[in-house]
Amino acid sequence: MRVQSMFFKKNATEKLDDAVLQRNLRTAKGKFVDGRAKAVAEIDEWEAIRTHAAALRDRALADLDAYLVEFERNAIRRGTVVHWAQTAQEACAIAVEIARANGVRKVTKSKSMVSEEVNLNERLEEAGIEVIETDLGEYILQLAHEPPSHIVAPAVHKSKEQVAELFEAAHKKPRLTDIAQMTREAREALRDHFLTADMGISGSNFVIAETGTTLTVTNEGNADMVTTLPRIHCVITGIEKVIPTLEDFATLIRLLPRSAIGQTIGNYLTLTTGVKGPGDTDGPEQMHVILVDAGRSKFVGTEMQSMLRCIRCGACMNHCPVYQNVGGHAYGWVYPGPMGSVLTPVYVGIENAGDLPNAATFCGECAVVCPVKIPLPDLMRKLREQQFNERLRPWTERFAIRAWSYAARRPKLYALLTRFAAEFGARLGGREKLIHYWPGLDGWTRGRDIPAPEGRTFRELYRERLRAPWRVKP
C-alpha cells in the first residue's frame, strides 16, 4: 500500500461527503464500542491485567535484541529458517526468492499487516506468482482492489450489498443477500486455493522467544489452512512482536480479542513451531520467518518507544471520533486511527504524514481503551512539537502558537486578551449562544457551531467566588 498520508485533509473531506461510507461507519461504530465494554466488564481485574501487560511489553522491548536472538536460536533448532530484513524492499526480496527457489506458482495468505506495509502482494505478482487472500475481509478487498481500512476488520467500510455485488461479479453466480450464504460461497471459492497453493504466508500476532514459536489469532480458521496445507510456510512479522514466554502470551490473549471486537477469546489460536517431523500427517516441509525492521528500530531508546507495545487490536481507532467519521482510508496508509497517527510519521517520515498527528481531538479515549496503556495523545503531542520545531506546519499556525506562547507567559496581557475574546465570543453567539462563524476558525465552524462563552473569563469568575462565594451559583 503506497503512502498517501500527506493528503489526509483532502481524503477526510471526501470521506465525510461519502453518504454510503458514512452510513456503513455508523453501523459498525456501536458494535465495536459496546462489544468491548461488555467483554471488559466480565473481568474484575481488567486494570491490573492492563498494567501487567504494559510492563511485560516494556520488559521485552528493553531487551529486544536478546529476545530476538533467543527466538532465532530456538526457531532454527526446530527447523525454521530465520531471515532478517532491514527494509521493506529486503523483506519482499526474501519472500520472492523463497518462492522462486521452490518453484512456487500460487500463494495463499492469512492476514498480515506487515505484508500490506511492505507491498508484498505487488512484488509477488510482479514475479508471476498468484496471490490469494483468505481472510474473508481481505478476500473482499482483493476483489474490490482496495487496501484495508481497519487492522482487524479490514472491510468494515463496506455494506452487505456492496459485498454481494463483488461476489456476483467474481464468482459468476446469482447474487446472494443472506450473510451466512455469502460466507459459504466465499468459503467454497477459497477451498480449491487452499488445496492447490504451494506456499502459505501469514502474519504473526506474537513470536515467542523461549520456544521459537509464531502465533496467529483468527476468527475464521484460515490461518490453520495457510500454515499447514502448503509445503512451504512463510511468516512475515515485525521485530517488535517478540515476547519472552508462552506465559506472557497467556496474559496478552486475555486483552487482545476483548479489546479488538469484544470477544472473550479468539476462535482460533494458531501456534507454529518449525517444520513437520517424521510421522506427522500435516505441516510444512519448509518454514521461514522474516523478521522485519522497516523503521521499528527508530522507536527504540526514544521517548516514542512505548508505541512498540502495540498489540494491533484496533481499540484506539474504534473509539476515536475522527476515525469513526472518516474511516481508515482517509489516513492514507496501512495503520489508521490514533495508532497510525503515531506509527506512520515515524515509519515513513513526518514530512510525508504531516497532518496525522493533528488528526485527533485529544479527547484521550484512545489511551483509556488501549490494552497496553500506550499514551497515544502524549506521543501525538511530541510529534506536533517536532513538526513545530522543524517548521513543518504552515507559518500562520506557527505564528499563532508563538503569539499564544508570548501572551501565556505574561499574566496581565493574557488576562486582557482572554477577557476580550470572551466578550467578543459572547456577542458573536447572540441570543442563541452559538457561534456559527469565527474569523480565522472557519475550518471548525463550517460544519458545526461552537457554544458561545458567557462573556466573563475563568479568572473573573474565580475572583468573584473568592470575594463572595455565597453569591455564586454552584
Chain segment 385-443, per-residue pLDDT in tens: 999 999 998 898 899 999 999 999 999 999 999 999 999 989 988 888 998 887 777 76
The per-residue pLDDT for 464 is 85
Nearest C-alpha neighbor of 138 from the set 76, 92, 202: 202
Chain segment 222-250, per-residue pLDDT in tens: 999 999 999 999 999 999 999 999 999 99
Distance CA 9, CA 13 (A): 6
Which three three-digit cell numbers place residue 173?
A: 453466480
E strand residue ranges, 6-78? none
The per-residue pLDDT for 46 is 96
The per-residue pLDDT for 471 is 58
Which three three-digit cell numbers place residue 125?
A: 505478482
The per-residue pLDDT for 406 is 95
Residues of the chain whose pLDDT is less than 50?
474
Residue with cell 512451504: 232
Distance CA 276, CA 432 (A): 73
The per-residue pLDDT for 67 is 98
- Domain limits of the chain? 1-42+314-393, 63-298, 396-467
282 burial (CB, 10 Å; 0-12 / 13-18 / 19+) is: exposed
Q: Across-strand partners of 395?
A: none
What fold is seen in the domain 63-298? Rossmann fold (3.40.50)
Distance CA 328, CA 141 (A): 13
The per-residue pLDDT for 449 is 85
The per-residue pLDDT for 474 is 46
Give the distance from CA 321 to its chain's centroid: 15
Confidence (pTM): 0.90
Distance CA 154, CA 139 (A): 10
Give the DSSP H or E segment for 238: strand 232-238
Please state, for a pLDDT cut of 70, what percent of the chain lies above it.
98
Answer for the pair 190, 110: CB distance below 8 angstroms, yes or no.
no
Distance CA 322, CA 359 (A): 7
